[in-house]
A and B are shown apart, each in its own frame.
Chain A
Amino acid sequence: MKEWSLSVQGICKSYGAKQALQPTNEVFDEHSFTCIVGRSGCGKTTLLRLLCGLEKSDAGVIELPRGKRIAPVFQEPRLMPWLNVGENITLAAQHDKSLDTGRLPELLRLLELEGTEKLYPNQLSGGMAQRVSLGRTLFYNPDIILMDEPFSALDYFTRQGLQQTLLRLYAEERKTIIFVTHDVEEALLLGDRVLIMDSGRVREALPVKLPRPRQAADSDFQLLRQKILQAL
């Protein structure tokens, strides 16, 4: 049962003469997993940056109930090089003292990072660094997680592993997730709904009612994949 939602009404963004995001209306329900797909430059990252407050919208409003937190996982891990894994994950505690650093072992287990607590970012593989980045966002305990192509720079197997980790996290923690990707298969494997973006606007919203775990070889999966590719 949803209790609240994040809604955007008429938000848009231009950079000089270029309209990166056309006026957009959308609602993201609590516990939903939305994937946004589109070609490079279609406005998906701009939408995410507006949602997490890194950019200011030229117009419109973003409505989120008071007290609800929103935090992104970036495309690159963006770890603080001077902090070790444990300190990077619990970074938010340096601002919000109410966050419990005792959660660290649980997060390390959840993200399969046990034993790496004292390592520094330059000692981690790309996949491990991205897990730490995800851990940092989870430690902040946001109600909504925005993910901007977080697995795009990783190799196939690492990406698959992280997709499974994310699905497990979603099942356990029931966060609201908005996941940007340019990979149609990834969107269908993960999301409950796929927003197709093109030229700065949401062209279509497609519900994905396939049971999990999903298989890319399934005919229904392939059908949806074709549909999205045609829309793109």
Chain B
Amino acid sequence: MSKKILRGLLLPLLVLLAWQLVTAKGVFSAYLLPTPMQVWEAFGELWASGLLLQHLFVSLRRVFLGFTISCCLAVPLGILCGQSRRFDSYCWLLLEFLRHVPPLAAVPLIILWAGIGEASKLTIIVLASFFPLFLNTYSGIHNCDKRLLEVGQTLGFTLREQIMRIRIPAALTSIVVGMQLALGYSWRALIGAELIAASAGIGYLILDAEEMSRPDVVIVGMLAIGIIGTAIDCIFLLLMRRVFPWQQGWQR
């Protein structure tokens, strides 16, 4: 294990230790803060019954579906707006307005229009992940190094070739950073969506546990969210290092 991972584990271990000490001394009642052991047991119970995996699978499926829809919308639109000032002048005001409306503020309307099924959750995820991806794509395309474009120009590149061969490859790192952010936003928005209306998913598991007065299960849910989010991010970075070998900065 690398030094970095070991150092990174130090603080969580200290928190765990403090948690154990506080609960052992009985500073808080077990109803407010269960012991680490209770949480571990709850985890074992959820794991053995397959409930945890089932809820995680539902949530992950929603995230990836929403994220994929978001990519399909935000990347092409970001490229169009970043490349064409004229196109951008038609879109900027509406996009700027929408950007400032938090997806959770639109939840009542979304539920009214899309019901409490999958569509409403996907809409919330798309709304949450669209802007980081769109803005990064836009800035990557728009701020492409003019000197590189001049190289294409002097080699006779057409506008299409300039976009495909220079602007988009040059913007890739920025687009990927946008994807990384968007994935994180999707994950967070999903939990919000599931807390509002759902019959499955990790957000639902937490809400259900609250109603059943099971803080240990709530904590298992929270830990699962954090661990899965971190894991997705790490896998993403590893992939990027493989896909973009010229880029040195793919690390946290």
Please tell me if the beta carbons of B148 and A82 are within 8 angstroms of each other in the complex: no
Contacts of A76 in B (CB 8 A): 147
Interface-side segment among A15-23, A91-99, A107-115, A154-162 = A91-99
Contacts of A122 in B (CB 8 A): 246, 248
B157 at interface (Cβ–Cβ under 8 A)? yes
B41 at interface (Cβ–Cβ under 8 A)? no
Please tell me if the beta carbons of B170 and A82 are within 8 angstroms of each other in the complex: yes
Q: Count CB-based A-B contacts (< 8 Å).
A: 56
The secondary structure that dominates the A interface is: loop
Contacts of B161 in A (CB 8 A): 94-95
Q: For window 54-101 of chain A, which residues contact chain B by CB distance below 8 Å?
A: 54, 71-72, 74, 76, 78, 80-83, 91-92, 94-96
Please tell me if the beta carbons of A140 and B155 are within 8 angstroms of each other in the complex: yes
Instruction: Give A122 to B246 CA distance when docked, in angstroms.
Output: 7
Min distance, Cβ B154 to any Cβ of chain A, angstroms: 5
Instruction: Give A121 to B247 CA distance when docked, in angstroms.
Output: 10
Contacts of B247 in A (CB 8 A): 81
Number of chain A interface residues as a range: 20 to 34
A53 at interface (Cβ–Cβ under 8 A)? yes
Interface size (B, Cβ < 8 Å)?
Answer: 22
Contacts of B210 in A (CB 8 A): none
Please tell me if the beta carbons of A91 and B172 are within 8 angstroms of each other in the complex: no
Knowing A80-B148, A80-B166, A82-B169, the reply to whether A95 touches B156 (Cβ < 8 A) is yes
Q: For window 41-78 of chain B, which residues contact chain A by CB distance below 8 Å?
A: none
Knowing A53-B153, A95-B156, A120-B246, the reply to whether A82 touches B172 (Cβ < 8 A) is yes
**Which chain A residue lies CB-closest to B157?**
A95
Q: For window 133-155 of chain B, which residues contact chain A by CB distance below 8 Å?
A: 147-148, 150-155
A53 contact from B152, B154, B172, Cβ within 8 A: B154
